[in-house]
Amino acid sequence: MMEFTEYTVEKIRDAFGIVQGERYEFMLEFEVDEEDELYTPQGLLLRVIYAVNGEEKRIVKHEIIERGTQKVLEFDLEDDELEETEAFCAAHYAEGEE
């Protein structure tokens, strides 16, 4: 289970019209156990592009980033982590409108 410690959400403009509806960029700080293969003492960020088109809401893209170096790590979220992230984004995307 991932623990989100801080986050920002911002509505972003899709200049090319690639994704229908509205897009939001989340930057989620999260922690993992020291035993996890993702662990880094510098901390981790999860960058998520989240699309909302009427009732359809989905993660378009996500990247795991090492906070200290801003390096994109070559890991993917597990299915349960992806579901947890999607639920978090669904609950908070409207904050990007403010």
pTM score, whole prediction: 0.89
Total tally of structural domains belonging to the chain: 1
Domain span at residue 59 reads: 3-97
pLDDT tens for 33-90 read 888 888 888 889 999 999 999 999 999 999 999 998 999 999 889 899 999 999 999 9
Whether the Cβ atoms of residue 44 and residue 31 lie closer than 8 Å to each other: yes
Residues in a beta bridge with 53: 56
Q: What is the DSSP letter of 35?
A: T
Q: How confident is the model at residue 1 (pLDDT cuts 50, 70, 90)?
A: low
Is a pLDDT exceeding 90 seen at residue 28? yes
